[in-house]
Structure 1
Amino acid sequence: MEEYLERIGPADAVAMRAAEERHARLTKPAGSLGVLEELSVRVAGMTGSCPPPVPQPAVVTVFAADHGVHAQNVSPWPQEVTAAMLANFAAGGAAVNAFATNNGVDVRVVDVGVATSVDQLDIVHAKVRPGTRDLSQTDALTEDEAKAAIAVGFDLADKLVQEGYRCLLTGDMGIANTTASAALIATFTGATADAVTGRGTGIDDAALAHKTGVVRSALALHAVPPTEPLKALQAYGGLEHAALAGYILGAAANRTPVILDGVIAGAAALVAQAFHPAVIEYCVAGHRSAEPGHAVALKQLGLQPLVDLDLRLGEGTGAVLAYPILTCAVRALAEMATFEDAGITS
């Protein structure tokens, strides 16, 4: 962990100031591109250059794992759906595949902790263990397992950047993963279980009350302080959350923008932020999930979502939808003419 964290530094303030100054000279009223202007300035800081290169190519990585807390009936879907969806991703049949094809984003799928065997699939096989333990009864992971899952994400981020990717997007899959997300978000924000627990795959009021009670009990059982991100991963998991935290840390270590998807990515980003606060300077919130915990997480992270369409699917769909907005923001900064170029005088 220490080696990973030592590679992360703050965004480049000089490049950001240069980007702000360039925006003031472009052929548009000051501030007229709104959030896109701030976004492009942030990318300049991430990459340390002004104007920054357009962040292409891009890849969305779908980390998949199962959760022992599924035994507490927090989801109406059988655990086997996780493995079935991995086969769907591998075959190109999921929503994230369709969005990625449309937006020119590559897709990688990673088994970091699926409970059943998926050895036959053409995906990245990095299983740390077959699902977590039940977070409502005991620690979901050991310290070594949590560290191993973080390493899966960090090392893959390194590899993807070495392969030439200039923007990393987060994706996830795991039945019952919104339960672990709620516990993590409550831990790092101080919010109550009621404020961060949502309907996930569409449970009814009675099931939501039960799920919220499971989260509340788990928080009382483990009582992890917000300054202990590794212990939080041990307590609640999930393996995909740990891998995503490593992936986000890896993007920051490589000064590469990372677009966060929904509530699972938000929970993982809170973990990453607790490991190294500067990591958030490399994060872009792709969208705001309909899951209530995501808005709580984004407020804590200080990130403004680019898209707000009541999505709650996961997979990386919101991040992939947001990707063209990021590239448009950077192209505007890099390719628009200045007043001087256009022969326009004030």
Structure 2
Amino acid sequence: MNAIPLPAVDETEAKEAGPEPRLPSIAGLSSPGLDDAFLPRFRSTLVPERALGRMETLALQLARIQHPEPKPHHVVALKNPQLLIFAGDHGIADEGVSHFPQETTRQRVLQILRGKAQINAMAEHNGFDLSVVDAGVASPLLDSNHGMTEVPLLERKIGYGTRNILLSPAMSATQAISALHAGMDVVRHLPGNVLALGDVGVGSTSIAALLLSRLCGVPLGDACGKGSGLDDAQQARKLEKLFNAAGRHRKSVKPMAVLASMGGFEIAMMAGAMLQAASERRVVLVDGFVGGSAALVARALVPEVMDYLVFAQRSSEVGHRLMLIHLQNQPLLDMELRMGQGMGTMLAWPLLKAAEHLIND
């Protein structure tokens, strides 16, 4: 596979130097005094040190997010949790990199909007307010037959899907910035101090693999998995397409240039949502491989965002393990999930509630 010739670079490729996004200021979390105030709540002479293991780490992260300064009798309060599902299509889907046709994105989104998807039941069970953001679905979501929905639809469409990255950049630099800012704007208008993120989009694991490879230096063959359930031959064809795309955009190395040339509208918006939520000291629950690729972008732009991210689960996608290693983070769960939509965040939520109760008792 490595012998595939690289195509010539299109001279119209977005240049590295271009407009810059307006990024929020994010305070890094480092408070030894706060840790000293909270640690006695987990420790006693009757149990071994760190008897609660990673639950202690999670509880301390929640405490650091909510309390900039150590004070007596601090508590952690997880209030009005929100689940945002960002939906967008990818032009590379035309190359057959997914087991599903592109129209599947719209059908999945409509199922969520009607309240009929599994994620609806999980969000209701966990007390999350659920909203769907149309970041760039390739067709209109609502018409005269689908005008009423049970779940709010937030229209932030940047375009009707990204362009095919084998032929051109996925989006312009202006579109990439607009998507990043749109994600920030959505979060500004949400209540609560907990944000869970999900995604819907055929072809998104191909984009996540490309972002992992380019932003972290992971060999593309190690980053690319079977996505929606491809067989070995289909995966080989997918990898060939990704090698060609990576070669075409090999001059894009800076974060915003990589996002514009090989990213997705929903990934850009998720990255913006992470940055804004962190600037407001919200807890941010990140789901799987695609959500992790948005975290890579957000970290590259403002490294302090990592202090606010809780990685819910490790998916079955082969590149996700390597992605989490590069993010230097351990997920709360490993359930071999093969779906996005924020399902992993809903399954992990009881652990955050347990940490809240442990630190407050």
TM-score (normalised: structure 1)? 0.91
SS in 1 for 2:138: coil
- Cα distance in structure 2, aligned partners of 1:29 and 1:37: 13
Match of 1:8 in 2: 26
Cα distance change of structure 1 residues 133 and 3 upon mapping to structure 2, 3 Å threshold:
closer
Q: Could you list the structure 1 runs, at least 4 aligned residues long, displaced by more than 4 angstroms after superposition.
A: 25-29
Q: Larger deviation: 278-287 or 211-220? A: 211-220
Q: Larger deviation: 14-23 or 188-197? A: 14-23
**Contact 1:54–1:327 (Cα < 8 Å) also in 2:** no
Asked if residue 78 in structure 1 is aligned to residue 72 in structure 2, the reply is no
SS in 1 for 2:84: strand
Match of 1:34 in 2: 53
Match of 1:317 in 2: 343
- Cα distance in structure 1, aligned partners of 2:180 and 2:37: 35
**Contact 1:16–1:42 (Cα < 8 Å) also in 2:** no
Match of 2:246 in 1: 219
Per-residue CA distance 1:98-140 (angstroms, 9 max, x = gap):
2212222221101010010013454111101110001122100
Match of 1:43 in 2: 62
- Cα distance in structure 2, aligned partners of 1:168 and 1:124: 16
SS in 1 for 2:167: coil
Amino acid at match of 1:132: T
Q: Larger deviation: 282-291 or 80-89? A: 80-89
SS in 2 for 1:24: coil
Amino acid at match of 1:312: R
Alignment counterpart, residue 166 of structure 2, candidates 122, 133, 136: 136
SS in 2 for 1:4: coil
1:25 to partner: Cα distance: 5.4
- Cα distance in structure 2, aligned partners of 1:60 and 1:279: 18
Cα distance change of structure 1 residues 31 and 274 upon mapping to structure 2, 3 Å threshold:
same
1:287 to partner: Cα distance: 0.2
Per-residue CA distance 1:215-258 (angstroms, 9 max, x = gap):
122222212565x1111110112001000100111111111110
1:263 to partner: Cα distance: 0.3
- Cα distance in structure 1, aligned partners of 2:137 and 2:327: 29
Match of 2:232 in 1: 205
Match of 1:56 in 2: 79
Match of 1:113 in 2: 136
- Cα distance in structure 2, aligned partners of 1:79 and 1:43: 38
- Cα distance in structure 2, aligned partners of 1:148 and 1:131: 14
Per-residue CA distance 1:155-200 (angstroms, 9 max, x = gap):
112211xx2x111001000011111111001111111111111111
- Cα distance in structure 1, aligned partners of 2:53 and 2:305: 24
Q: Larger deviation: 74-83 or 14-23? A: 14-23
Alignment counterpart, residue 308 of structure 2, candidates 276, 279, 282: 282
Alignment counterpart, residue 295 of structure 1, candidates 315, 321, 325: 321
Amino acid at match of 1:134: N
Equivalent positions of 1:232-311 (< 5 A) are 232-311=258-337
- Cα distance in structure 2, aligned partners of 1:100 and 1:321: 10
**Contact 2:126–2:349 (Cα < 8 Å) also in 1:** yes
Match of 1:103 in 2: 126
SS in 1 for 2:43: helix
- Cα distance in structure 1, aligned partners of 2:108 and 2:258: 27
- Unaligned runs of at least 5 residues, structure 2: 1-19
- Unaligned runs of at least 5 residues, structure 1: 336-346
Alignment counterpart, residue 197 of structure 2, candidates 170, 174, 198: 170
Alignment counterpart, residue 211 of structure 2, candidates 175, 184, 193: 184
Alignment counterpart, residue 159 of structure 1, candidates 176, 189, 209: 189
Match of 2:16 in 1: none
SS in 2 for 1:140: coil
**Contact 1:115–1:131 (Cα < 8 Å) also in 2:** yes
1:57 to partner: Cα distance: 2.1
**Contact 1:43–1:52 (Cα < 8 Å) also in 2:** no
> How many residues get paired?
330
SS in 1 for 2:164: coil
Amino acid at match of 1:38: T
